[in-house]
Structure 1
Amino acid sequence: MAELNKDFQIEVGGLLMGPGTPYVIADVPGFGTPDLRSQDVDSPAGDGVFPGVDYYGMRAVRIEAAIRTPGDPAAAADALAALHRMAATAAVRKKAGALTSLRVKWPGRPARRFYGRVRRAEAITTAQLIHGWVPLDLGFDALDSTVHDDVEQSLVLPLDISQDAFGFKAPVIAPITTGVSNPATRPGWMTNRGDLPAFPKLRISGPVANPRVWIAETGKALQLALTLGPGEYVEIDTRLGARWVVKNGFGSAQTALSTSSRLDQFQIPPGRSELRWTATDYTNTTRLAITWRDAYTAL
């Protein structure tokens, strides 16, 4: 993954374009409001339409660019071949659910990214290839309408001995403690600096039994009825295009989720929030790791 260190640079599918590269970018339409999937319903007994829910669809991003290698047609041909190889990546093209990234460095802000697929990578004409000039037409469908931060955030937590229930259990024996006295010093604080909820990816490492993870501010929880031995782990991916639970990297553990556990609702809200979890582990070696990217409405 190349570093985007100049304004107006774009990396699509791992191919860097813009300032400092042979690819000159003229315009990039499609960064506005995503396409809408309207749920409007015609009135069955009168004029008009009943407005339903409007869902965002994909962003159809088009990159109007050109290859410019003055006096070097061989370099232009190499750049065109690199573009075609990027668009033909079989690991993305032939795998259902696989996505690639479109990374953008806009003026006055850090790099951000979209997830989707390259749908078009074509030379408009090669008439000027002999002079090192090839105009290009690229299409990228951002299937996830959210704009993501380029830097991935992460947090690793030991087992949380606190509970989400209130009150005391009898008999009460002095001294009475209620965990960490200053909530700000607890280790589970997360910060989503964007203006949209972020979908995280979680990994729970054994030995552990019956883990339950929740976000205090939203109350949304994921609970698993399973046991992991030493060296075993379970991964939970809530991101669009994934939303699966996998044990040890290959076996589905989706059925271990409780009926109230919704992957599509387990989100890190904008701002500061606290992640907490409980489980059974007598060795104090189990760990919960969570990763996410801050989520934005726009670049």
Structure 2
Amino acid sequence: MVQQALGRIQWGDLTFGPGSPYTVTAFEGLDDLPEIRGEDVPRPGQHGDYSGPDYTGARTVVLKLGLRAETPDGLRELSLALRNATQPQMQPAPLQFLDQNTLVYGKVRRRNIPYDAEYLWRIGDAALEFYCADAYLYSLVEKTASTTAYSPAAGRTYPLTYPRAYGSAGTSGRISARNDGGSPAYPVLRLDGPVANPAIEQVTTGGILVIDATLQAGEYLLIDTRSRAVLLMGSSPRRSWVRGGSTWPLLRPGYNELAYRGNALPGIPDQPSLLTVTWRDTSL
């Protein structure tokens, strides 16, 4: 159920909001649209501009907290725990809005825990600013779907024997993926061998991603469509395997259909290859 109240917020091991000693007193940046980076250009010799696509800049999330303890020592412990949880970061980390089913990835860029001798008996305040280079809002729920690859009928087995043996009929590998957000979602694709020259087609919008390579049984390829990383066994870069002119799949808001095709390897036609698609509902 959608809740209008902000509810609980998770950052690392700390939880803010109802049921915690950190009350949320003010908040901004979650439902706000980040600053737009427009690609408009002036019309030469005319009034107005030629309007290009709009993109957003980074998202800034500001969180103000009230610290509530039973003793001054308890208040100091809350301040130290908050300080230790908001150190400078090498990489963004998830800031989770547990009752809003929303997730952003951010870094703490500012922290303010003021000292006020008049109120430091058991009550304090703090303010945190999170810089989210990735402005998207993601669902907490990660969705996944899998299918085996379509492969043509294997045909007859040679040399001919009696009774004659025919290969199995072709199968159709399709995935229906629903993005309940308002912006395109970038899926993560995992291809498990054995398969030669696997391809993922966007049936709904057109375009196809083709991998010019062979995966043996037990090998897999991980493809992050946002960063466009292509990793054999999840670690070895293989970006050069992507065929020129390929289209990186996106999951538009609503239903999307993907088709997975590939060629069986000689001698193992009955071992299916598997495509697994993972995504989160995405909005701005």
Please give the TM-score of this superposition, normalised by the length of structure 1: 0.77
**8 Å contact from structure 1 (residues 148, 294) kept in 2:** yes
Q: Are 1:128 and 1:134, in contact at CA under 8 Å, matched by a contact in 2?
A: no
Asked if 2 retains the 8 angstrom alpha-carbon contact of 1:156 and 1:290, the reply is yes
Distance 1:33 1:119 in 2: 19
Greater share of helix: 1
Q: Which moved more, 1:74-83 or 1:125-134?
A: 125-134
Q: AA paired with 1:57?
A: G
The RMSD of aligned alpha carbons is 2.7
Q: 1:20 to 1:46 in 2, by over 3 A?
A: same
Change (3 A) 1:38 1:13: farther
Quick one: which amino acid aligns to residue 139 of structure 1?
A: E
- Residue 274 of structure 1 corresponds to 257
Shift in Å, 1:84 = 2.4
In structure 1, the partner of 2:81 is 82
Q: Which amino acid aligns with 1:133?
A: I
Cα deviation for residue 33 of structure 1 reads 1.0
Aligned to 1:65: 65
- Given residue 157 of structure 1, which amino acid in structure 2 is its aligned partner? T
How big is each residue's C-alpha offset from its partner over 1:190-240, in whole Å with a ceiling of 9 and x where there is no partner?
Answer: 11122222110011112222110122101132111111222211100123x
Report the secondary structure of 1:131's partner residue: coil
CA 1:129/1:234 → structure 2, altered by over 3 Å: closer, same or farther? farther
Query: Structure 2 CA distance, aligned partners of 1:278 and 1:144?
Result: 32
* Cα 1:13/1:261, change in 2 over 3 Å: farther
Count residues in correspondence: 261
Distance 2:150 2:244 in 1: 23
Residue of structure 2 equivalent to 1:138: 128
The AA in structure 2 aligned to 1:270 is: P
Partner of 1:172: none
> 1:15-94, aligned counterparts within 5 Å?
15-31=14-30, 32-41=32-41, 51-69=51-69, 71-88=70-87, 93-94=89-90
* Paired residues for 1:43-192 under 5 Å: 51-69=51-69, 71-88=70-87, 93-94=89-90, 98-105=91-98, 110-125=100-115, 127=117, 130-161=120-151, 188-192=175-179
Q: Who wins on radius of gyration, i.e. which is larger?
A: 2
Matched residues in 2 for 1:229 and 1:127: separation?
68
Which residue identity lines up with residue 180 of structure 2 in the other structure?
Answer: R
| 1:200 aligned partner | 187
Gaps of 5+ in 1: 164-176, 181-185
Partner SS, residue 87 of structure 1:
coil
Task: Summarize the Cα distance change of 1:197–1:50 in structure 2 as closer, same or farther, 3 Å threshold.
Answer: closer
Contact 1:213–1:277 (Cα < 8 Å) also in 2:
yes
Q: Is the 8 A contact 2:150 2:170 kept in 1?
A: no
| Partner amino acid, structure 1, of 2:240 | T
Alpha-carbon separation, structure 1, partners of 2:51 and 2:176: 39
How much identity, in percent, do the aligned residues show? 29
* 2:244 aligned with 1:259: yes
Whole-Å separation in 1 of the counterparts to 2:252 and 2:193? 28
The one-letter amino acid paired with 1:80 is S
The 3-state SS of whatever aligns with 1:194 is: coil
Q: TM-score, normalised by structure 2?
A: 0.81
Runs of at least 5 residues in structure 2 that lack an aligned partner in the other structure: 154-168
Distance 1:187 1:46 in 2: 50
